Chain A
Amino acid sequence: MTINSLIAQGMISSLLVYLLTKLNKKLGAFLTVLFSGYLLFVIFGFQNSAGEVFSLIHFGEFELTFMTSHYAWYFAIVLTLTYFLVSFFNPYWMKKMVNPAAYNMLFMVSMVGTVGVFYAKDFLTLFIFYEIVVWSSLFIIPMGKSRKTPVIYYTISSIGSFAMLYAIFYLYHSVGSFDIQAVSEAMSQAPNTYRFVFFTMIVAGLTKLGIFPFHTWLPAAHGSAPHTFSPVLSGGLVKVGGFIALITATVIPSFKILAGDLQLMGVPFENYLIMLLGAVSIVVGTLMAIKQEDAKKLIAYSTVSNSGYIIIGLMLNDQVGFAGGMMHVFNHAMASGAMFLSFAAIAYRTGTTKMSELGGLIKRMPLTFAAYLIAIISLAGIPPMSGFASKWLIFQGLASNGMMFIALAAFFGSIGSFLYVFRPLSAAFLGQLSPKHKDVKEVPWMMQIPLIIMSFLTIFYGIFPGRILAYISKIQESVGLKGVEIEGTKIIAATGMWDSLVITLVFGGGFMLAAILFFISPKAKPVDQMNTYTSGEFIYDPDHYHYAKNYYATFENNYGNKKRVELFFDAVALRVKEFGEMVKTMFFAKSVSFSIFWIMLFFTLVYFWGDKV
């Protein structure tokens, strides 16, 4: 199997899915599961392949080619895995979709597009497939709650696309080739060209990752996309931006090319500037996530914050921090995918994702609760889940370079994440079960499969993070970095080490000890959920007795309620609109006066042309 025939098969399968969904909605949705599983299976076979070249199309002097590599496989497997797991939810949402056939087709097209982006050998292929991904997701988002949000998504995406297109043409102008390797070799002699390309091309990565100040599309798009597509957006498509950043900064070795530039804390100032943007987006994402009322918007803002970790790790370009950033790509895909999926499950049963309308669902949906719990432990970076490994590596990378301001943001985001991940747990799953959700049931078994697999992977790679890190060290060696050091289950950085298996065993031992203590003590008497201490008040309504609204109101008061970036964008939009109005009144006005003015101006200019005044 070759990559180009895989892409062709994927495209054909998307058409097939479209036609079959027209015949039977459920059948088409099951086919997305089948085809995405097939794609995952085939991609998995490319694990050890590197440097194989496949040509897709020739036209004139240009050609679209793919090349296998370790970093491409890593990103491709994370993405296809996310798509495959999420596709299990598709059959249950067909009834609620306005146009299920288009949804299924675009789902497959965007999946194939991401594979094309990762395996691209040249920038032209990369750009074409990048646009396929953007456009296919663009048409899925309005199938959800809002039709206005795709505008925000498209505007910000197009900033990135145009910047990247410009950078690619600029590169072709100065190097004469679209090929990534050729560009990378040519750039080592031309740091001035590269400095410009670095900033223009990385904008595409930043917009897709949702790094400040381009983060506004994430809450808008993730919050209102169909419930089954939000996990793909957050867990998957955001990582395409990470891939662009990887290409710009690491595959084209920014450290070697920019070695002559001003170095800030051991990295070129260009990389440091991007890291600062990452740090700002960690803080902004955390603060905004804390005050969201809607669970999906909360997770979207948490994606902004975690994208900051990814970009910081990737920009470090070293032995430890880079490995952390790469591993965070996988961890965040699994964790945020599971979080979005568990809220999709809740929405499937209760019809809402607003936290204040939920509560006490652990008694009705225990498996969804468990999946959500494991996901948030990983996202908050608490051992023994996989999220700890990546955060630990990023912290060590920052500590060995002494980047204290970025570390400040990283620590704040890490502790702040306890706040925002706990809120949905507390408001939706724990607390008082509302009477209107008395008859809610656990989701069907097919929707449980992805939740179980994601939880399993999070725990497994939390106990054995070395399994992923071994592959990441291969990637590091292939792009000219030193591979991360692993010894059994020990992970070793220059500034310390830890052993995931020992931590798990000690924690397990501690838990056993506590459980023994618990079970040898007298048995507890179970009581009803309303049977609590109420300061002597008579309580009759569980809904009023559930603490879920304005959860962190006291903390929010400290940083106000203004969306400053959104206000800035609104102001820009207003100016653009005013400018358009001006152009419209001056050139396309219905009144005759402006036309007469232009005609007179024209003839006056013609009349005076060439005169010596």
Chain B
Amino acid sequence: MSYLIGLMLIVIAFLWQVTLEGFQRKVTAKVQRRVGPRWYQTFMDIFKAFSKSSISHGFIYDFGAMMTLGGTMATVVFLPFSGIVAFNGLDNFFVIIYLLAVGSLGMAMSAVGSGNPWASIGVMRALTQMVGYEVPFMIVVFGMIFGYGTSSISALVEVQAGGFLNWHLLRMPLGAIVGFISLMGMLAKKPYDTPIAPAEIASGPLVEYGGKHLGMLMLQHEFAVFIEVGLFVNLFLGGGGIVAYLIKYAAVYLFATIISAVLGRFKIEQVVYHFYKVPLALSLIQAAVVIFTGLGVEIWL
């Protein structure tokens, strides 16, 4: 049964996120005063990629593509979606973060396995950026885990039940800011799109991909976005019923899109420096407030 729910979650993630990706492209276009593609353009892109011929750079190139998609789909199964948890009690925060890393590792391996230095440079940048955004985000959630004594995400959603005043967005405002900045980094949206920088390093890790390999990586990207935005919605906006969850999801995702549509790109050392200057400091303050004063957890309204 749990496995069927998991399969259903994967299908929902695919339909919803790919649709929203189309809207996101439309929104970016409107901000930049273009017309933009149709909303179902991303579906067409993915299906087209799978039907085209492709080239293979050897075993690890294929294996990595399968590993990245498989790992990311497995992560979708563990993420609570509007109160639906496939495996009860196993939706652990650290499991989700590290299982998502399986996908990243697969993609990195596959890309470097192609033998193209652009891909290596892109992977190097992606890993460096990961060190930047992951640590502040984990520190904020660390404070939450200590505060409530649980690292299960659905349990962290439950404590926010009962109106928007209980959301962590208001209980832990600094943490929410850090969470959103980290989310931008995870999504590799501008100004944090250094790893894929198309004009500098020819799309970085994606430089060699075509056909079904590209299709799988596009799918993996959509699932990864579903997890990352979903984490933010669950942890800071209190999850909610299906409609509420999807509305919150769309709001967060499109807000990130609008910000990124008007910004330029950081250099990679600027990314790390930036993340360790402001968000890390904010996250430490937030964690200290939660751990030493209890404000936002025990003391609240």
Given contacts A499-B90, A558-B273, whether A511 and B139 have CB atoms under 8 Å apart is no
27 contacts between A and B (CB under 8 A): A362-B60, A380-B105, A383-B102, A399-B145, A404-B288, A404-B291, A411-B135, A415-B131, A419-B131, A426-B120, A431-B112, A496-B89, A496-B152, A497-B89, A497-B152, A499-B90, A503-B78, A506-B74, A510-B72, A510-B74, A518-B65, A524-B62, A526-B57, A526-B58, A531-B55, A547-B124, A555-B269
B300 at the interface (CB under 8 A from A): no
A544 closest partner in B (C-beta)? B117
B241 at the interface (CB under 8 A from A): no
User: What 1/0 flags go to A535-570 for Cβ under 8 Å of B?
Assistant: 100000000011100011011011000000000000
Q: Which residues of B contact A392 (CB under 8 A)?
A: 92, 94-95
How many A-B Cβ pairs are below 8 Å? 248
Cβ of B279 to closest chain A Cβ, rounded Å: 13
- Cβ-defined partner of B130 (8 Å) among A407, A418, A430: A418
- Cβ-defined partner of B99 (8 Å) among A507, A518, A555, A557: A507
Q: Which residues of A contact B114 (CB under 8 A)?
A: 532
Other than A392-B95, A496-B152, A510-B77, give 19 A-B pairs with Cβ distance below 8 A.
A382-B105, A398-B142, A404-B142, A411-B142, A418-B130, A422-B105, A425-B109, A495-B149, A498-B90, A498-B94, A506-B6, A506-B77, A514-B73, A524-B55, A525-B54, A525-B56, A533-B208, A545-B115, A545-B117
A502 to B6, CA, bound (A): 12
User: What 1/0 flags go to A424-449 for Cβ under 8 Å of B?
Assistant: 01100011100000000000000000
A405 closest partner in B (C-beta)? B284
User: What 1/0 flags go to B119-135 for Cβ under 8 Å of A?
Assistant: 01101110110110011
Q: Which residues of A contact B70 (CB under 8 A)?
A: 507, 510-515
B134 closest partner in A (C-beta)? A415
- Cβ-defined partner of A380 (8 Å) among B101, B121, B152, B291: B101
User: What 1/0 flags go to A374-387 for Cβ under 8 Å of B?
Assistant: 00010011110000
Cβ of A523 to closest chain B Cβ, rounded Å: 8
Cβ of B23 to closest chain A Cβ, rounded Å: 25
Q: Which residues of B contact A532 (CB under 8 A)?
A: 57, 114-116, 207-208
A496 to B97, CA, bound (A): 15
Which one of B114, B121, B124, B272 has the highest number of Cβ atoms from chain A below 10 Å of its Cβ? Answer: B124
A605 to B178, CA, bound (A): 74
A408 at the interface (CB under 8 A from B): yes
Cβ of B273 to closest chain A Cβ, rounded Å: 6
B32 at the interface (CB under 8 A from A): no
Q: Which residues of A contact B215 (CB under 8 A)?
A: 521
B131 closest partner in A (C-beta)? A415
A404 closest partner in B (C-beta)? B287
Cβ of A557 to closest chain B Cβ, rounded Å: 6
| B side interface size, CB within 8 A | 86
When the two chains form their complex, are residues B94 and A395 in contact, meaning their CB atoms are under 8 A apart?
yes
A509 at the interface (CB under 8 A from B): yes
Q: Which of B55-81 contact A (CB under 8 A)?
A: 55-60, 62, 65-67, 69-74, 77-78
A551 to B135, CA, bound (A): 21
Q: How large is the interface on A (under 10, 10 to 19, 20 to 34, 35 or more residues)?
A: 35 or more
When the two chains form their complex, are residues B54 and A522 in contact, meaning their CB atoms are under 8 A apart?
yes
The 8 A-B pairs of least Cβ separation, nearest first, read A511-B70, A496-B151, A510-B74, A547-B120, A524-B56, A510-B70, A521-B212, A514-B69
- Cβ-defined partner of A432 (8 Å) among B78, B105, B115, B143: B115
A413 to B66, CA, bound (A): 28
Given contacts A400-B149, A407-B142, A547-B121, whether A518 and B212 have CB atoms under 8 Å apart is yes
Given contacts A497-B90, A521-B212, whether A555 and B268 have CB atoms under 8 Å apart is yes
Q: Which residues of A contact B130 (CB under 8 A)?
A: 415, 418
Residues of A that sit less than 8 Å from B by CB? 360, 362-363, 366, 373, 377, 380-383, 388, 391-392, 395-396, 398-402, 404, 407-408, 411-412, 415-416, 418-419, 422, 425-426, 430-432, 494-499, 502-503, 506-507, 509-515, 517-518, 521-522, 524-527, 529-535, 545-547, 551-552, 554-555, 557-558
Q: Which residues of B contact A506 (CB under 8 A)?
A: 3, 6, 74, 77-78, 87
A282 to B99, CA, bound (A): 22
Given contacts A524-B211, A532-B114, A554-B269, whether A382 and B102 have CB atoms under 8 Å apart is yes
Q: Which residues of A contact B113 (CB under 8 A)?
A: 362, 430
Given contacts A415-B131, A502-B87, A507-B70, whether A533 and B77 have CB atoms under 8 Å apart is no
A407 to B94, CA, bound (A): 13
Q: Which residues of A contact B54 (CB under 8 A)?
A: 522, 524-525
A382 to B67, CA, bound (A): 13
- Cβ-defined partner of B149 (8 Å) among A395, A422, A494, A513: A494
When the two chains form their complex, are residues B212 and A495 in contact, meaning their CB atoms are under 8 A apart?
no
Cβ of A191 to closest chain B Cβ, rounded Å: 27
Given contacts A381-B98, A555-B268, whether A514 and B127 have CB atoms under 8 Å apart is no
Q: Which residues of A contact B66 (CB under 8 A)?
A: 511, 514-515, 518
A411 to B151, CA, bound (A): 15
A551 to B123, CA, bound (A): 10
A518 to B50, CA, bound (A): 9
Q: Which residues of B contact A366 (CB under 8 A)?
A: 59
A518 to B56, CA, bound (A): 12
When the two chains form their complex, are residues A509 and B3 in contact, meaning their CB atoms are under 8 A apart?
yes
A513 to B13, CA, bound (A): 15
Given contacts A496-B150, A503-B95, A526-B55, whether A551 and B116 have CB atoms under 8 Å apart is no
Which one of B6, B93, B120 has the highest number of Cβ atoms from chain A below 10 Å of its Cβ? Answer: B120
B108 at the interface (CB under 8 A from A): yes
Given contacts A402-B291, A412-B131, A524-B212, whether A388 and B98 have CB atoms under 8 Å apart is yes
A518 to B92, CA, bound (A): 30
- Cβ-defined partner of A408 (8 Å) among B105, B135, B202: B135
Given contacts A529-B58, A532-B208, whether A404 and B143 have CB atoms under 8 Å apart is yes
A407 closest partner in B (C-beta)? B142
Cβ of B99 to closest chain A Cβ, rounded Å: 6
Cβ of A415 to closest chain B Cβ, rounded Å: 5
When the two chains form their complex, are residues A533 and B118 in contact, meaning their CB atoms are under 8 A apart?
yes
A596 to B101, CA, bound (A): 75
Cβ of B75 to closest chain A Cβ, rounded Å: 8
A551 to B112, CA, bound (A): 13
A432 to B57, CA, bound (A): 11
